Structure 1
Amino acid sequence: MSKQEIEELGSSIGYCFTDKGLLLEAVTHKSFHHENPDKASSYNERLEFLGDSVLGLVVVEYLFKLEKYYSEAIMSKIKSYIVKEAVLSDAAESISLGAYLRLGKGEKETGGRGKKSILADAMEAVFGAVYIDGGYERARDAVLRLLQDKIDTAVSSEQFFDYKTDLQEESQVRFGILPRYMTVKQEGEEHKKIFTVEVYIKGDRLGRGSGRSKKEAETIAAKEALSKIKSSENP
């Protein structure tokens, strides 16, 4: 990599490296190292291993501060999604990381610059390199610069959420009892019924929801109840 390429990649990441060698190591695949030991004394697997841990911490910290009632299970599911090969390779492609990779001849000829596994590993290695060179805050900035939209999309999609379980856990911790769901209305034809459910804790109605099944209605009611509990913490 030329000095200009290092600066270009650093700019895409949003970080200027003090030790340019760390960025060079982050984009060096083991195939290049094995074929050119005189040009690369190391390759990116150690930085990738470190970057994976840094990435996980950044994602969980972001979720922890975003919503207090996100359970361990929800944070774990979203983190697992963000560190997937497909998500990381997309982030790598957004900054054209493949163009900067140092690959062995065989990997180049078999399309290594576009392989999702290689791109994802290199992306984690870059995060690890930023952490070593600039510390946690700069690494966090780099991760969120490239992945915050993905995290926010995962949160807004609600596919990872289990509001009923979260409400049950919250109710037991705070009040020592389980929430109680009550179906208060059923309307519509048999195959097109709409159910309305209310959820109560200690006799207080905290949520109400309607859906095509009792489960859907209960989930909506639980979500509203959790929101009210959270709002009561921060008046």
Structure 2
Amino acid sequence: MERFENGLTELQKRLHYTWRNPELLRQALVHSSYTYENKGREHYNNERLEYLGDAVLELVISDYFYHSFPEKTEGELTKMRALTVCEPSLALVARRLELGRYLLMGRGEERSGGRDRPSLLADAFEALLGSVYLDAGLEEARRVALQELAGILEKIKTGQTARDYKTDLQEVLQRKSTDPIHYHIINEAGPDHDKVFTAAVEHRGKKMGWGRGKSKKEAEQQAAKMALEKYLQSD
């Protein structure tokens, strides 16, 4: 626990922000696997802060692109936002901040590589942002978000970010059809701390592709990638 407390000081220096209520920072860095193994504080983890931080991040990035790119269409802005707030981008930022090193997590989660798991790191960054929002308000949360995502935002301007296959697939299919695309998690394998998800994507009642990943988002992206490749080959 002493190492955890020392990490809080280091992280605040990295972010150039000091929490008025340090308890919010502590909670942002507690993974649910830790509270599961330490009964009595089952609700003391970062899941609610992650939920809040996700909404704050979407608002901040939407506002940023809206005012920065007045010439872009709604569809273009949506794609740019998706590339910014997607799991790979947020995990990249979390790794740069070394969030994995600061997290409290269960032993099983840690043994399975949780400190470097993209979904867990992305969630932790969102929780961190949610805690800043509660601690100091939207403007400070905006400053921290744009500060830490500056590199990602610059890459988006020059087209260097990873592809968002779900958005690409939707754009391709909507050229010929307005029917919705459906994603389903068709299988979950492994223990809770090391699950592998399998997702399928369907359009007009036909399965177009499937994919696996360590998170539901990753599995859906892989399913969309397969569907897009198959569709473009047959078109």
In which range does the TM-score fall when normalised by the shorter chain?
0.5 to 0.7
Match of 2:105 in 1: 103
Alignment counterpart, residue 84 of structure 1, candidates 83, 86, 95: 86
Q: 1:152-196 CA distances to partner (integer Å, 9 max, x unpaired)? A: 210222989xxxxxxxxxxxxxxxxxxxxxxxxxxxxxxxxxxxx
Q: Which residue of structure 1 lines up, in the alignment, with residue 156 of structure 2?
A: 154
2:99 and 2:42 map into 1 onto residues whose CA distance is 18
Contact 2:65 2:81 in 1 (8 A): no
CA offsets, 1:43-93, max 9 Å, x none?
Answer: 111111111111111111111121212221111101111111111010000
Describe the SS at the equivalent of 1:157.
Answer: coil
Match of 1:135 in 2: 137
CA distance in 2, matches of 1:27, 1:61: 27
Per the TM alignment, residue 41 of structure 1 is displaced from its structure 2 partner at its CA by 4.6
Match of 1:66 in 2: 68
TM (normalized to structure 2)? 0.64
Report the count of equivalent residues.
160
- Contact (CA 8 Å) 1:14, 1:145: kept in 2 or not? no
What residue in structure 1 maps to residue 30 of structure 2?
A: 28
Q: Which runs of 5+ in 2 are unaligned?
A: 164-235
Q: How far off its partner does 1:37 sit? A: 3.1
Letter of the 2:66 counterpart:
F
Deviation, 1:140, is 0.6
Q: Gaps (5+ residues) in structure 1?
A: 161-235
- Note closer, same or farther for the CA distance 1:86–1:128 as it changes in structure 2 (3 Å cut): same
Determine the C-alpha separation between the residues in 2 that align with 1:39 and 1:99. 22
- RMSD of aligned residue pairs (Cα, Å): 1.9
Amino acid at match of 2:101: A
Give aligned-pair identity as a percent. Answer: 36
Q: Which amino acid aligns with 1:151?
A: L
CA distance 1:45–1:19, change in 2 (3 Å): same
- What SS class does the counterpart of residue 42 from structure 1 fall into? coil
Which is greater in Rg? 1
Question: Is the CA contact 1:45–1:125 (under 8 Å) kept in the aligned structure 2?
Answer: yes
**Map of 1:42 onto structure 2:** 44
Q: Which residue identity does 1:71 align to in structure 2?
A: T
Cα distance change of structure 1 residues 69 and 93 upon mapping to structure 2, 3 Å threshold: same
Which residue does 1:212 correspond to in 2?
none
Normalization by structure 1: what TM-score?
Answer: 0.64
